Amino acid sequence: MERRSPRPLLWLGGLLTVYLGYPLAAFLIRVAGGGQEGWNVPGLWSALAVSVISATASLAIGVLTGIPLAYVLARRDGRLSGAVRVLVQIPLALPPLVTGIILIYIVGPYSFLGRFSGQRLTETIWGLIIAQSFVSIPFLVVVARSAFRAVDPALGELAATLGHGPLARFLRVEVPAASDGIRTGMILMWLRAFGEFGTVVILAYHPYSLPVYVDNLFSSGPLSQAEAPTVLAFVVAALAIALSAIHRLPRGPRRRSPAPPPPPVTPAPYEPVPLRFQIAASLGTFNLEIAHAAAHGRLAIVGPSGSGKTLTLRALAGVADTTHAAIRCGDRELAQLPAEQRQIGYVPQGHGLLPGRTVWEQVMFGADADPGAAAWWLERLSIGELSDRYPEQLSGGQRQRVGLARALACAPALLLLDEPFSALDTPVRAQLRRELRTLQREHGLATVLVTHDPQEAAMLADEIVILAGGRVLQVGTVSRVFRQPASLEVSSILGLRNVHAGRVGPDGTRVVSGRLSFDLPVSGGGGDARAAAGDAVLWAVSTDCVRIGPAGAAVSVPFELAYPGVVSDIIDLGSHVEISARLDPGIELTSRVATPQVSSPGQTCTVHLDRDAVRIWPTTG
């Protein structure tokens, strides 16, 4: 079998490996075959100790100051943040000797700080720490900032809704999530401080650090005497690099939680509270204005992608900036409260599970989480046996149940659900919908559901808000909105079939829509007798009240309205067949039947309607 020639990338990688590895290998061979000189030269071990101590002290300064700074720079954009990022990276670009001269002007013997400190900031261990930290902290800040940028901001927002303040969110969520990058930055910083020579030799020649000690040996004695400190530096660097390669050990399914869940305790029933809100917010060029006063405990916000649904939910939760907000949940005014004090449960898109925490730790993460109630919700949601699992060991449906149990374990007054089932398979989505509907009914959960699925909204809400482009198109009960959408845009968002625009004729008794016309109902049937001559209206007919047959088919009761058309599509869905036919360029009607009477698209046909099933109502758009 013919061997494939190495790829160019492999050649380049191999060349770099040889370039970097050859000097190290040559040095090790030289040391192994040499006389092991330099180990007894005075000052070797004290120089090593000075370097280790000063580099560690520099790292401590970097951890206390650089990690918080990196977090702020990762979470804030703007001119000031950009200027600070440039300032932080300047020491990386300057030659070390120039950096040392700059520091002399700041902390040298004749500077204000130098005189104030009694000239103890140079030629001392403090000067060494100043020099090392100045040139090495940027390594930590740059790497840690990238690590924080990679952390989903939604995790911090979620922790806020679970009752954790800013400092707790930083220490318990952001830092653990960015820990791999932070650890790498810390090791790079320590190595940079440990090996710094140019800045140190200008600012703090004494006490000798290991690099300065090596330079003295190299300048005043045979090269062989510099081998011992060079070996020590190599060993220290190798140990530090080995630490950076140590990752968190994989956690298998057999690892148990430190404390098993306690016996379940049935939580007290929820008391649905009315929600009233008026929110104005901006996100870039997008503006949101929404207001609603709910009369029921279950509300759904429905709209296409980019309509402002998630921004509304985040504003209710208190994790989004708003131009104006008035939010009242029961007798509590929430708009002025931070997210951690609103007592609102939040289930974001993508589950929002915290990395490195078991299911039980996830559910108990809330500041006010009740262990007994948390155990009860785990059992109620059929995930009690998964309490020792980690997020990567769960299916999508299981993760969604964990997120729901975590929110409910804190007994929130209101539960916010941001498209909770959109990423799940159809069977799992249908099952979780039914489970949530049962929870709403049995426990009185007050919920605000954001979704683009009208069926989900109809199943899980009593009231519905239709949102598009940051503006409310219609508000009302689910029954009212679905039966009488305010406009064709609303009917399209709801996925309603057989809804079309028309106009009341001059005589005020009939509605004309293209070639179709209907008697205007006097009352009942979902009609509106207030429509006057010339008024714009919408009309609709259920798919079960439409029959599509061969052209010229006889009219039968109750399908007494007949119009010519052309079959546009036939879809066999197993349990039924959907047939669509075009009557006019802008009018298409769909019929839902068990057995079709037409055979293929393009076939001429007759569309029959149930006269009494046609609903007509005024339009507002």
pLDDT band at 264 (very low <50, low <70, confident <90, very high): confident
**Is the pLDDT at 428 greater than 70, yes or no?**
yes
**Final residue before a domain boundary, out of 422, 446, 480:** 480
Average pLDDT over every residue of 165-184: 94
pLDDT band at 34 (very low <50, low <70, confident <90, very high): low
Domain count, the chain: 3
- C-beta of residue 468 within 8 angstroms of C-beta of residue 326: no
Q: Is 28 inside a domain boundary?
A: no
Q: Are 316 and 461 contained in the same domain?
A: yes
Task: Please name the residues in contact with 612: beta carbons below 8 A apart, sequence gap of 6 or more.
Answer: 525, 558
Collapsed DSSP state (helix, strand, coil) of residue 327: strand
Q: Is 306 inside a domain boundary?
A: yes
| pLDDT at residue 522, rounded to an integer | 52
Interval 592-615: pLDDT, tens: 999 999 989 999 999 999 888 898
| pLDDT at residue 3, rounded to an integer | 59
Q: Are 507 and 537 contained in the same domain?
A: yes
Q: Are 380 and 465 contained in the same domain?
A: yes
Q: Is 333 inside a domain boundary?
A: yes
Task: Please name the residues in contact with 490: beta carbons below 8 A apart, sequence gap of 6 or more.
Answer: 466, 473, 474, 481, 621
Please give the backbone phi and psi of residue 234, each rounded to the nearest 5 degrees, phi first.
Answer: -65, -45
Q: What is the CATH number of the domain that holds 514?
A: 2.40.50.100
| pLDDT at residue 258, rounded to an integer | 54
Report the distance separating Cα 411 and Cα 322, nearest Å: 26
Please give the backbone phi and psi of residue 285, each rounded to the nearest 5 degrees, phi first.
Answer: -90, 0
**Which of 1-10, 178-187, 193-202 is predicted least confidently?**
1-10
Q: Are 202 and 308 contained in the same domain?
A: no
| pLDDT at residue 247, rounded to an integer | 57
Average pLDDT over every residue of 572-578: 92
The whole-model pTM stands at 0.81
**Is the pLDDT at 142 greater than 60, yes or no?**
yes
Q: Are 234 and 357 contained in the same domain?
A: no
Q: Are 240 and 279 contained in the same domain?
A: no
Q: Are 502 and 471 contained in the same domain?
A: no
| pLDDT at residue 621, rounded to an integer | 59
Torsion from C-alpha of 602, 603, 608, 614, nearest 10 degrees: 0
Task: Please name the residues in contact with 132: beta carbons below 8 A apart, sequence gap of 6 or more.
Answer: 54, 55, 58, 192, 193, 194, 196, 199, 200
Report the distance separating Cα 187 and Cα 335, nearest Å: 44
Beta bridge partners of 516: 513
- C-beta of residue 536 within 8 angstroms of C-beta of residue 621: no
Q: Are 170 and 290 contained in the same domain?
A: no
Q: Is 10 inside a domain boundary?
A: no
Average pLDDT over every residue of 24-31: 76
Q: Is 103 inside a domain boundary?
A: yes
Q: Is the dihedral of CA 429, 434, 438, 441 positive or negative?
A: positive
Token pair for residue 328?
């009242």
Average pLDDT over every residue of 271-291: 90
**Final residue before a domain boundary, out of 416, 449, 480:** 480
Mean confidence (pLDDT) of the chain: 88
pLDDT band at 272 (very low <50, low <70, confident <90, very high): confident
Interval 307-361: pLDDT, tens: 999 999 999 999 999 999 999 998 889 999 999 999 999 998 877 899 889 999 9
Average pLDDT over every residue of 231-250: 76
Q: Which helix (H) or strand (E) holds 73?
A: helix 67-75
Beta bridge partners of 472: 467
Q: Are 455 and 580 contained in the same domain?
A: no
Place of tokens 């968190």: 248
To the nearest 10 degrees (0 to 180), the angle between helices 227-244 and 44-61 is 30
| pLDDT at residue 524, rounded to an integer | 40
| pLDDT at residue 257, rounded to an integer | 47
Peptide bond into 211 cis (omega under 30): no
Average pLDDT over every residue of 488-493: 93
Report the distance separating Cα 155 and Cα 170, nearest Å: 10
Q: Are 291 and 437 contained in the same domain?
A: yes
Distances from the Cα of 59 to the Cα of 55, 127, 187, 209, angstroms: 6, 15, 9, 16
- C-beta of residue 592 within 8 angstroms of C-beta of residue 496: no
Interval 84-128: pLDDT, tens: 999 999 999 999 999 999 999 999 888 888 888 888 888 899 999
pLDDT band at 39 (very low <50, low <70, confident <90, very high): confident
pLDDT exceeding 70 applies to what percent of the chain?
A: 94
| pLDDT at residue 259, rounded to an integer | 66
Beta bridge partners of 158: none
| pLDDT at residue 228, rounded to an integer | 84
Q: Is 462 inside a domain boundary?
A: yes
Q: What is the CATH number of the domain that holds 73?
A: 1.10.3720.10
Q: Is 288 inside a domain boundary?
A: yes
Q: Are 287 and 411 contained in the same domain?
A: yes
pLDDT band at 530 (very low <50, low <70, confident <90, very high): low
Q: What is the CATH number of the domain that holds 322?
A: 3.40.50.300
| pLDDT at residue 36, rounded to an integer | 64
Helices (H) and strands (E) in the chain, counts: 22, 20
Q: Are 74 and 202 contained in the same domain?
A: yes
- Parent domain of 65: 44-244
| Report for 166-175, 347-356, 558-567: range of highest mean pLDDT | 166-175
Please give the backbone phi and psi of residue 559, each rounded to the nearest 5 degrees, phi first.
Answer: -85, 70
pLDDT band at 167 (very low <50, low <70, confident <90, very high): very high
**Final residue before a domain boundary, out of 228, 244, 260:** 244
Q: Is 26 inside a domain boundary?
A: no
| pLDDT at residue 565, rounded to an integer | 94
Interval 42-76: pLDDT, tens: 889 999 999 999 999 999 999 999 999 999 999 99
- C-beta of residue 73 within 8 angstroms of C-beta of residue 85: yes
**Is the pLDDT at 278 greater than 90, yes or no?**
yes
Distances from the Cα of 387 to the Cα of 30, 222, 401, 407, angstroms: 57, 65, 12, 16
